[in-house]
Chain A
Amino acid sequence: MTEAAMPESVATPTLDTGRLAAARRFSRNDRFFFRLTQTCAFAVLAILAGVMISLAFGAAPALSEFGLGFLWTDSWNPVTGKFGAVAPIYGTVITSAIAMVIAVPVGLGIATFLTELCPQVLRRPIGIAIELLAGVPSIIYGIWGLFVLAPILQRTLQPWLIGIFHDIPLLNALFAGPPYGIGILTAGIILAIMVLPFISSITRDVFEAVPPMLKESAYGLGCTRREVIWKVVLPYARVGVTGGVMLALGRALGETMAVTFVIGNAHRISASILAPGTTISASIANEFTEAVEDIYTSSLIALGLILFIITFLVLAAARYMLLRIEKKSGG
């Protein structure tokens, strides 16, 4: 468009004003575009602040009643109206940790295999299968976990764990109790399966973005495949990989339906990871509709606020970690 306008303006100086008007119009459009996108970006901040404020308002009665003690009291008694958050916080953190311990190595393994080792014909089918895994609704994972996975764990893994760690101090407390089939460990395994696609598909994408030149150079220097993956691909992609892991962790912390089905929903902290427990989101989903008393509802909203803060802290910590890694490799 500017090229078309150019010769005209040269030919007749009177069109100068036209050029100016066009330039002004462009700059106005640009400013409009800037404002539009800026509004979109700031809307996110406004929405987050709105969520935070409404949660804080809802949680205020519970927090003023129980004070900071809410965070470390393990009573959850609707009859007497005494509530404390430590059991669901513990459950949330432990189930997510179990999920990460299982899902991170497996997810990285899948991505590495798909990008570096897998024969071309298998790449697409496996890749699509992983993305399908991400599309399965969480309630389906819950039902599957309850009716298929839990009975299997109850008959196989759990008695085995209880058996082999029977005489080892500390570990026998960690794997103790009757094999219910459902519990903290089962919830962790279900979560691991659910977050696996997040880790593996994001990791695969960032692995694929590693410049071929870098890898070829390493091979040229005589590196083995394993060395190329460990020393070139992984370090180059670590920011993206960390991002994928964090996204997965965010999902694991907040996952509700699937966990509710398989965790056992008991407001208790047990040393054993085979015992039933609960998470913040499972407690809210279970109890919100029936919480009649104001203090009960408010305590549930306070749990929501705590989860919001936990998620925020986890993401902030991840950002900070990335920043430090970048500084180190930069200097």
Chain B
Amino acid sequence: MKLSVKALGLAAAGVVAAGILTAVSAAEISGAGATFPYPIYAKWADAYKQVSGNSLNYQSIGSGGGIKQISANTVTFGASDKPLTPEELDKAGLAQFPTVMGGVVPVVNLSGINPGDLVLDGPTLADIFLGKISQWDDAAIKKLNPSLSLPSQAIAIVHRSDGSGTTFIFTNYLSKLSKEWADSVGSNTAVQWPAGIGAKGNEGVAANVGQTAGSIGYVEYAYAKQNKLTFTKMVNHEGQTVSPTADAFTAAASGADWSHAKGFYMILTDQPGAQSWPITAATFILMQRRPSDQTASIEALKFFDWAYANGDQMATDLDYIPMPDSVVKLIHDYWKESIKGSTGSPIYSGSM
């Protein structure tokens, strides 16, 4: 009974939140969704308020929540780390564009192994998370790390227990590199993990990896960096060994051909380019194509326009990768052709 009360409470909170969001949408920009870009959205919003006086109310409730809220039209924009396919966008009457990019990195806890010492590739990583490789001194790992002395220790797998865009990016990468992973597990914000323990949030994974000897997990790059976790290097699409750095994320992003991505449906995992970090991803904004509250939607587009023009440094400071100018140009064109008012004319076309 305790639980059902909680579930009801959650539902009630959702209804109240939705009510508040609808009520204030005329006065301020309201958005909800992904937790991954929350720090940069908050920072942009703060800076934007100082220059424009308009405030942004962003609820970081998770990518799935963002998709739900914008589909129900209770917010001006939704945010998701998992892009919707062009078909899904058409079906829901939504427009989609990327804001910033970031990287997901595998982290390990092995005594004597320092950050960047261990090298892994996609198929090996998939076999580890499938439970097929269960010891650190397995031949497949040894082959990638001939110079390291790997302990004969069981691998403890740590994954996210809550639905997460980070999980989507990670499982998407594994699906691309391992047919067995694609067939038996697949990719989504939550999957049926074949092995390991689940931890809540990036913090939970970081904490569990930090205190479990012989463990491996995956977190957003910023968490690995801030918590000084032992990240691994990865072998990328070109067979090059790369470290997770801002340059490697940018390299992955720059190789991407956004101009042919319908509805900006683009998943940046396993991108070509010698320097590209293979587990890179963009995070997305979802908006109604025919917004019922045009004023609020124009304000939201103005905010993102301002952020593309002025927010790059703030994003870099927080370990995000800003969108290249060429992509921002595409986004402006996209706004013109897809987000329209009741008369059928674009509601906002961008300043650049």
Which residues of A come within 8 Å of B, CB atoms? 48, 51, 54-55, 75-80, 146-147, 150-151, 154, 178, 180-183, 250-251, 253-256, 260-261, 264-267, 276, 278, 280-281, 284-292, 301, 304-305, 307-308, 311-312
CB-based contact A286/B207 at 8 Å: no
Residues of B within 8 Å of A48, CB to CB, are 1
What's the count of A-B pairs with C-beta under 8 Å? 133
Q: How far is the CA of A181 from the CA of B215 in the complex (A)?
A: 12
Complex contact A308–B3 (CB within 8 A): yes
Known: A276-B196, A291-B64. A79 touches B207 (CB 8 A): no
Stretch at the interface among B50-58, B182-190, B277-285, B301-309: B182-190
Neighbouring B residues of A261 by C-beta, 8 Å: 200, 204
Flag the segment in B93-101, B143-151, B161-169, B328-336 that touches A: B161-169
| Structural contact, B3 and A307, CB atoms closer than 8 A | yes
Cβ-based interface call for B225 (8 A): no
The majority secondary structure among interface residues of chain A is: helix
B230 interface hit (Cβ, 8 Å): no
Q: With A and B bound together, what is the CA distance between A285 and B188 in angstroms? A: 18
Instruction: Check A183–B211 contact: CB distance below 8 A.
Output: no
Q: Which residue of A lies closest to B80 (CB)?
A: A292
State how many angstroms separate the Cβ of B222 from the closest Cβ of chain A.
Answer: 20
**25 A/B residue pairs, CB under 8 Å, sorted by A:** A77-B192, A79-B185, A79-B192, A146-B208, A182-B197, A250-B1, A251-B2, A255-B2, A256-B2, A266-B193, A266-B198, A276-B196, A276-B197, A280-B3, A284-B6, A286-B198, A289-B61, A289-B163, A290-B63, A290-B65, A290-B163, A291-B64, A292-B64, A292-B67, A292-B68
Which chain B residues (205-219) contact chain A, with CB distance < 8 Å? 207-208, 211-212, 214
Given A292-B64, A308-B1: A78 and B7 interface contact (C-beta under 8 Å): no
Is the C-beta of B18 less than 8 angstroms from some C-beta in chain A?
A: no
The reply to whether B162 and A290 contact each other, CB–CB distance below 8 Å, is yes
Contact yes or no, B198 A181, CB < 8 A:
no
Q: A51-B1, A182-B197 are in contact. List 10 more A-B contacts (CB 8 A).
A: A79-B191, A178-B156, A254-B2, A264-B197, A265-B161, A267-B192, A278-B161, A288-B10, A290-B63, A304-B7
In chain B, positions 43-80 with a C-beta closer than 8 Å to chain A are: 61-65, 67-68
**B114 → chain A closest CB, angstroms:** 22
Q: How far is the CA of A88 from the CA of B7 in the complex (A)?
A: 16
B314 within 8 A of A: no
Q: How far is the CA of A284 from the CA of B163 in the complex (A)?
A: 11
B2-A250 in contact (CB<8A): yes
Identify which of A264, A266, A291, A312 gathers the most chain B CB atoms within 10 Å of its CB: A266
Closest CB pairs A-B (n = 7): A290-B163, A265-B198, A254-B2, A265-B161, A290-B64, A264-B197, A79-B186
Alpha-carbon gap, A76 to B212, bound state (A) = 26
Asked if B4 is at the interface (CB within 8 A of a chain A CB), the reply is yes
Bound: A254/B7 CA distance, A: 11
- Which residue of B is nearest A261, CB measured? B200
- Min CB distance B5 to A, Å, is 7
Which of B63, B187, B197, B200 is the one whose CB lies under 8 Å from A286? B200
